């Protein structure tokens, strides 16, 4: 801000702000490696700083109360806590600010533990100087901070589930049990997905179709779950908490459209099975089948009779990792479920007819956790495992004698090449992302490089997407077992409840803002936003850009594309960033501490 | 325990822009695992590396930082599928301005730092710091 620029009415000049700075010892985690007293002193005389103090544990209940008292007594209008990572306590101290009647968005946390003391344990002087810079920088941003209000709005206690496979159906029941209505939309004429077509499945040996029937029965008993089959989600408007979903029902007499208000959307659209190319591991030759085709065959067989095309099958060869762990450009991922699924199928074959000989040609057996027991079971029953190298996959060919021949260089027997004659070859095919472009476009679902939907964070926010209120669960997210899909579905239920059970929701106000005076209406930012949050509006007789704070994700991607420099991200405005950079550098406080 | 690092008063000042969701957890992890890197490295969190203005990167260099490092989300960005390309464009634009102002483009670096990239981050910082010393030596000779 230039000196002759007037301070807006009602807004305190940066140097007249009343900021409290708290530097945490973290019981020694910080103060053993950073001279916190030097930090306190360095900050005490900074413009706008009214309180500069150190605390043994800033997060302790007693200190939080002291902070609240100080905020009230000294009428603070900004708060900076230098402590651990904001991941741990940003919410804690925002709440402290709110409880003291201070705007929570004038609080900022400085990470001086993970990114300070712990990273520089042998350089106390350097760490102290660094931390002074970090805190000054944060104070500079706080001086220029605005009192922001989260967008608060009422939410609808109902969720939409897209996909009625095992994950979607179980999620629907979970939603109803937690007190949220569920509306399920399924493209197919029947519910149940892949699992609903299966006989015995691992790990419980219960038939997939029985598990689906049981879920379906529970759903029929409930009035708070509605299931539409032959139906698709074809439209979505509104924002999270208040989405308006347009569902198209494909009926004999033509399509029918209905609209449902929902607070959240759980996408559980599942996967497609990898379809091998013609000739890939002999695919196309009679007797070469994929894993789902084989499972269907086994499920339909009676005891003692494993029959393929009218002929009894006396031997089976499995080729693992078909369509998975391919070279760059292919499906580079491991599909994770297929080792166990193939092993489980071989256990079933052994139960049908123990005299069938079974050969498993594998790269690595990834039957993890309790699935290891199935691996042991099939080996104990006589299954033979042969390992091939990543760069030397086996080949499948028709033998002159009439059967099929599997040729492998077996790493476990002196790398000898062997040809195994078998009646049936099972290509252990993995999962591929289901093509669903219209849904991706409609919900703005983020796709990973592998083509599956992307969560915000695989561990910390595993079912949320960047689109607020839209969650992903099951194999649409990544290959996994049915049990893992159900767990993800229930995680999405819990997340929906966290969003919708309060009856209202709040959105972070840290969104993009356009200065109408500066905006030249070039339209460059409109295409920069994949969330369609920026629209062109008429203002003062000309077209300018405008941001919808309810759909803006706060990424700032529109900011550098504006040639007129007219966009600011609240919390990271141009003035704040420049001041923060300058103050970070200016930490030239002489620290003469002996090196620890 | 790693050996004591003697504070180097000439150690280059590095400003790291890191992303809150992806890179920051990786940098946090470097600290949690006590993987030491020069204390002259300071970090500023931003939501997404695609939101950085080239002018900010240059402002940092002109104010005195020896180097600016953009820890981007790369392919993991939850906001923008083309985040890596966008950030690369921002870097390229900044380097073009730097070249015009006689600032060595080597003083600006970008790399994807994921949420568990603790070791890569610490290594990047040590390497970048060494590189900047060379850049400084070369420019003082020139």
CATH number at residue A379: 3.50.50.60
Quick check: A6 pLDDT over 60? no
Quick check: A381 pLDDT over 70? yes
Partner residue opposite A557 with nearest CB, options B6, B45, B79: B79
- As a whole number, mean pLDDT of residues B49-67 equals 97
Confidence at residue B81, expressed as pLDDT on a 0 to 100 scale = 83
Q: Which chain A residues are Cβ-neighbours of B115 within 8 angstroms?
A: 457, 459-460
CATH number of the domain where residue A519 is located: 3.30.70.20
As a whole-number percent, the residues of chain A with pLDDT over 70 amount to 97
Three-class SS of residue A60? coil
Report the gap between the CA of A456 and the closest CA in chain B (Å). 5
Quick check: A376 pLDDT over 50? yes
Class of residue A539 by CB neighbours under 10 A (exposed 0-12, middle 13-18, buried 19+): middle
CA angle A205, A211, A214 (to 5 degrees): 140
Least-confidence region, from A103-107, A154-158, B54-58, B79-83:
B79-83
Q: From start to end of A327-403, where are the E strands?
A: 357-362, 384-387, 395-398
* Preceding omega of A536 cis (within 30 degrees of 0): no
Please give the Cα distance from A306 to A300 (Å, whole number): 9
C-alpha dihedral over A295, A298, A301, A306, to 10 degrees? 140
Quick check: A5 pLDDT over 50? no
Residue of A225, A245, A264 whose CA lies nearest to A498: A264
- Of all residues in chain B, the one with the smallest CA distance to A590 is B9
- The string of pLDDT tens digits covering residues A470-489 is 999 999 999 999 999 999 99
Least-confidence region, from A30-44, A142-156, A569-583, B66-80:
B66-80
- B125 reaches A (C-beta below 8 A): no
Query: CB count, 10 Å around CB of B99?
Result: 11
Quick check: A335 pLDDT over 50? yes
State the pLDDT confidence band at A123, using cuts at 50, 70 and 90: very high
- The string of pLDDT tens digits covering residues A167-203 is 999 999 999 999 999 999 999 999 999 999 999 999 9
* Domain enclosing residue A192, as ranges: 158-270+434-505
- A582 reaches B (C-beta below 8 A): yes
Do the Cβ atoms of A560 and B75 come within 8 Å?
no
**Claim to verify: residue A317 and residue A455 sit in the same structural domain:** no
- As a whole number, mean pLDDT of residues A332-345 equals 97
Quick check: A322 pLDDT over 80? yes
**Claim to verify: residue A138 and residue A202 sit in the same structural domain:** no
CATH number of the domain where residue A125 is located: 3.40.50
State the pLDDT confidence band at A594, using cuts at 50, 70 and 90: very low
**Claim to verify: residue A382 and residue A426 sit in the same structural domain:** yes
Three-class SS of residue A442? helix
State the pLDDT confidence band at A588, using cuts at 50, 70 and 90: low
- B134 reaches A (C-beta below 8 A): no
**Claim to verify: residue A14 and residue A117 sit in the same structural domain:** yes
**Claim to verify: residue A34 and residue A116 sit in the same structural domain:** yes
- B-proximal residues of A, 424-453, CB under 8 Å: 446-449
Confidence at residue A413, expressed as pLDDT on a 0 to 100 scale = 87
**Claim to verify: residue A285 and residue A233 sit in the same structural domain:** no
- A118 reaches B (C-beta below 8 A): yes
Do the Cβ atoms of A580 and B44 come within 8 Å?
yes
Do the Cβ atoms of B51 and A559 come within 8 Å?
yes
Do the Cβ atoms of B28 and A87 come within 8 Å?
yes
- The string of pLDDT tens digits covering residues A247-272 is 999 998 899 999 999 999 999 999 99
- A578 reaches B (C-beta below 8 A): yes
- The string of pLDDT tens digits covering residues A563-573 is 999 999 999 99
Quote the mean pLDDT of chain A.
93
Please give the Cα distance from B72 to B91 (Å, whole number): 11
Phi first, then psi, for residue A411 (nearest 5°) are -65, -20
State the pLDDT confidence band at B78, using cuts at 50, 70 and 90: confident
Quick check: A343 pLDDT over 80? yes
DSSP string, A87-153: HHHHHHHHHHHHHTTS-GGGEEEEE-TTTTGGG-TT-HHHHHHHHHHHHHHHHHHHHT------EEE
Please give the Cα distance from B87 to B57 (Å, whole number): 12
Confidence at residue A508, expressed as pLDDT on a 0 to 100 scale = 84
pTM of the model: 0.70
Domain boundary among A505, A521, A556: A505
CB B14 within 8 A of CB B69: yes
Partner residue opposite B21 with nearest CB, options A119, A456, A584: A456
**Claim to verify: residue A266 and residue A126 sit in the same structural domain:** no
- As a whole number, mean pLDDT of residues A285-294 equals 97
- B29 reaches A (C-beta below 8 A): yes
Do the Cβ atoms of A448 and B42 come within 8 Å?
no
As a whole-number percent, the residues of chain B with pLDDT over 90 amount to 76
Taken in order of first residue, the domains within chain B and their CATH numbers are: 14-141 (3.40.50)
- As a whole number, mean pLDDT of residues A430-457 equals 89
Domain boundary among A505, A528, A544: A505
CA angle A263, A269, A273 (to 5 degrees): 170
Do the Cβ atoms of B29 and A457 come within 8 Å?
no
- B-proximal residues of A, 348-407, CB under 8 Å: none
Partner residue opposite A119 with nearest CB, options B22, B37, B76: B37
Quick check: A498 pLDDT over 90? yes
Confidence at residue A10, expressed as pLDDT on a 0 to 100 scale = 57
As a whole-number percent, the residues of chain A with pLDDT over 90 amount to 86
Phi first, then psi, for residue B87 (nearest 5°) are -65, -40
**Claim to verify: residue A34 and residue A69 sit in the same structural domain:** yes
- As a whole number, mean pLDDT of residues A84-100 equals 93
ipTM for the complex? 0.94
DSSP string, A191-204: S-TTGGG-SB-TTT
Do the Cβ atoms of B31 and A118 come within 8 Å?
yes
- The string of pLDDT tens digits covering residues A531-540 is 899 999 999 9
Confidence at residue B8, expressed as pLDDT on a 0 to 100 scale = 58
Partner residue opposite B15 with nearest CB, options A466, A574, A581: A581
Three-class SS of residue A514? strand
- Of all residues in chain B, the one with the smallest CA distance to A467 is B79
**Claim to verify: residue A278 and residue A426 sit in the same structural domain:** yes
CB A257 within 8 A of CB A248: yes
Residue of A588, A487, A453, A565 whose CA lies nearest to A519: A565
**Claim to verify: residue A258 and residue A302 sit in the same structural domain:** no
**Claim to verify: residue A345 and residue A446 sit in the same structural domain:** no
What pairs with residue A244 in β-bridges?
A237, A261
Confidence at residue A587, expressed as pLDDT on a 0 to 100 scale = 58
Q: Which chain B residues are Cβ-neighbours of A558 within 8 angstroms?
A: 51
Confidence at residue A377, expressed as pLDDT on a 0 to 100 scale = 97
Confidence at residue A392, expressed as pLDDT on a 0 to 100 scale = 95
Quick check: A301 pLDDT over 90? yes
Kind and range of the H or E run holding B141: helix B118-141
**Claim to verify: residue A237 and residue A315 sit in the same structural domain:** no
B77's CB contacts (< 8 A; 6+ apart) are B19, B22, B48, B49, B50, B83, B84
Quick check: A592 pLDDT over 60? no
- A4 reaches B (C-beta below 8 A): no
Quick check: B64 pLDDT over 70? yes
Do the Cβ atoms of A559 and B53 come within 8 Å?
yes
- B73 reaches A (C-beta below 8 A): no
Report the gap between the CA of A462 and the closest CA in chain B (Å). 12
Please give the Cα distance from A266 to A429 (Å, whole number): 27
Q: Which chain A residues are Cβ-neighbours of B96 within 8 angstroms?
A: none
Domain count, chain A: 4
DSSP string, A387-413: E--TTS--EEEE-TTSSEEEEEEETTT
Please give the Cα distance from B39 to A5 (Å, whole number): 37
Please give the Cα distance from A18 to A76 (Å, whole number): 5
Q: Which chain A residues are Cβ-neighbours of B37 within 8 angstroms?
A: 119-120
State the pLDDT confidence band at A593, using cuts at 50, 70 and 90: very low
């Amino acid at each position: 801000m230039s000196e002759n620029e007037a301070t807006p009415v009602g807004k305190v000049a940066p140097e007249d702000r009343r900021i409290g700075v708290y530097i945490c010892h973290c019981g020694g985690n910080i103060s053993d490696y950073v001279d916190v007293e030097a930090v306190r002193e360095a900050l005490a005389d900074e413009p706008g700083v009214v309180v500069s103090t150190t605390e043994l544990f800033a997060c302790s209940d007693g200190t939080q109360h002291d902070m609240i008292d100080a905020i009230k007594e000294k009428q603070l209008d900004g708060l900076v806590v230098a402590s651990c990572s904001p991941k741990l306590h940003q919410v804690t101290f925002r709440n402290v600010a709110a409880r003291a009647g201070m705007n929570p968005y004038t609080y900022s946390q400085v990470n001086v533990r993970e990114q300070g003391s712990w990273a520089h344990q042998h350089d106390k002087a350097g760490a102290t100087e660094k931390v002074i810079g970090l805190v000054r920088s944060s104070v500079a941003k706080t001086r220029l901070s605005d009192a922001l209000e989260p967008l608060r709005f009422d939410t609808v206690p109902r969720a939409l589930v897209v996909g009625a496979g095992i994950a979607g159906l179980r999620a629907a029941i979970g939603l109803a049990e937690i007190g949220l209505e569920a509306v399920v939309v399924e493209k197919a004429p029947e519910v149940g997905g892949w699992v609903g077509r299966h006989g015995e499945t691992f790990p419980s040996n219960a038939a997939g179709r029985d598990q689906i029937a049981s879920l379906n029965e529970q759903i029929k008993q409930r009035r708070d779950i509605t299931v539409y089959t032959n139906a698709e989600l074809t439209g979505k408007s509104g924002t999270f908490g208040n989405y308006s979903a347009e569902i198209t029902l494909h009926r004999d007499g033509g399509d029918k459209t209905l609209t449902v208000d929902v607070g959240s959307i759980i996408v559980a659209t599942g996967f497609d099975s990898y379809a091998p190319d013609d000739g890939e591991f002999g695919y196309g030759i009679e007797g070469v089948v994929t894993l789902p085709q084989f499972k269907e065959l086994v499920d339909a067989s009676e005891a003692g009779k494993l029959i393929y095309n009218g002929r009894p099958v006396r031997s089976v060869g499995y080729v693992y990792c078909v369509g998975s762990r391919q070279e760059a450009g292919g499906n580079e991922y491991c599909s994770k479920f297929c080792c166990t699924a193939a092993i489980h199928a071989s256990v079933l074959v052994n139960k049908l007819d123990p005299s069938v000989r079974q050969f498993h040609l594998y790269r690595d057996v990834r039957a993890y956790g309790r699935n290891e027991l199935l691996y042991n079971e099939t080996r104990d029953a006589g299954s033979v495992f042969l390992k091939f190298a990543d760069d030397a996959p086996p080949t499948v060919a028709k033998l002159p004698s009439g059967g099929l021949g599997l040729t492998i260089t077996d790493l476990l027997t002196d790398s000898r090449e062997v040809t195994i004659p078998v009646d049936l070859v099972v290509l252990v095919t993995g999962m591929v992302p289901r093509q669903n472009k219209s849904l991706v476009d409609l919900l703005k679902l983020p796709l990973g490089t592998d083509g599956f939907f992307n969560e915000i964070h695989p561990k910390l926010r595993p079912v949320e997407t960047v689109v607020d209120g839209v969650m992903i669960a099951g194999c649409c997210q990544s290959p996994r077992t049915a049990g893992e899909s159900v767990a993800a579905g229930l995680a999405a239920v819990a997340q929906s409840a966290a969003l919708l059970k309060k009856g209202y929701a709040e959105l972070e106000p840290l969104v993009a803002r356009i200065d109408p005076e500066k905006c030249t209406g070039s339209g460059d930012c409109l295409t920069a936003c994949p969330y369609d949050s920026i629209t062109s509006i008429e203002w003062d007789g000309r077209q300018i850009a405008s941001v919808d704070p309810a759909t803006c994700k706060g990424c700032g991607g529109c900011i550098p594309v504006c040639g007129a420099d007219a966009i600011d991200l609240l919390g990271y405005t141009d003035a704040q960033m420049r001041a923060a950079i300058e103050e970070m550098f200016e930490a030239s406080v002489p620290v003469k501490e002996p090196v620890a | 325990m790693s050996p004591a690092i003697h504070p180097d008063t000439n150690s280059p000042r590095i400003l790291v822009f890191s992303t809150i969701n992806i890179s920051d957890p990786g940098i946090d992890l470097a600290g949690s695992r006590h993987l030491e890197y020069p204390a002259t490295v300071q970090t500023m969190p931003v939501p997404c590396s695609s939101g950085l203005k080239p002018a900010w990167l240059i402002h940092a260099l002109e104010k005195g930082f020896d180097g600016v490092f953009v820890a981007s989300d790369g392919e993991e960005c939850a906001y923008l599928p083309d985040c890596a390309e966008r950030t690369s464009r921002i870097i390229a634009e900044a380097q073009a301005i730097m070249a015009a102002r006689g600032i060595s483009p080597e003083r600006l670096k970008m790399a994807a730092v994921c949420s568990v990239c603790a070791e890569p981050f610490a290594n990047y910082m040590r390497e970048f710091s060494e590189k900047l010393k060379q850049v400084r030596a070369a420019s003082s000779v020139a």
